Amino acid sequence: MECELELYLENENVNIYSIRTNGEKLEIEKFLEKFPPGSTYEKDINIILAAIKKIISNGALERYFRPEGSYADGIGAIPIEGNRLRLYCIRVSDSILVIGNGDVKQVKKWQECPILSQYVEQLKKLQEKLTQSLKDRTTTIVNKNINGRLKFNIK
């Protein structure tokens, strides 16, 4: 599967990227479409949107994310507090965030849910590829921008 990082939102504090998989809609767009206004999870989605607004205002600070997986892989979930929904992301730095997808969390651990596992595993693999590309210097980070190679094949 081909994953491409694409700038979703840019402001003075943070650049938010999302993932376009195989030319489809961005993962953040897919997530938001699953939970439209008036849905059963409207309160939960509003909590996530409020968390994103805080990130936009202050940057992608560690305290805004629930760590998922190992600390080294940088995978986190929004929101930090209890919620029935999880939105998974890669916190690259205080000024760069990659937002993936998410869903309803009905189990204790994301590993117990095939849908959530798929989203987290995709981000972990993408993070590995991005880290390697940064080491190889085929991708660079300048301030809030990810430059160079932005397409990665994920298996």
Residues sharing a CB contact under 8 Å with residue 78, sequence separation 6 or more, in sequence order: 48, 51, 52, 55, 64, 65, 66, 86, 87, 89
Tell which wins on pLDDT, 39 or 108: 39
- 48-95: per-residue pLDDT in tens? 999 999 999 999 999 999 888 766 678 999 987 778 999 999 999 999
Residue range of the domain that includes 82: 2-153
Give the number of domains in the chain: 1
Is the predicted pLDDT of residue 109 greater than 80, yes or no?
Answer: yes
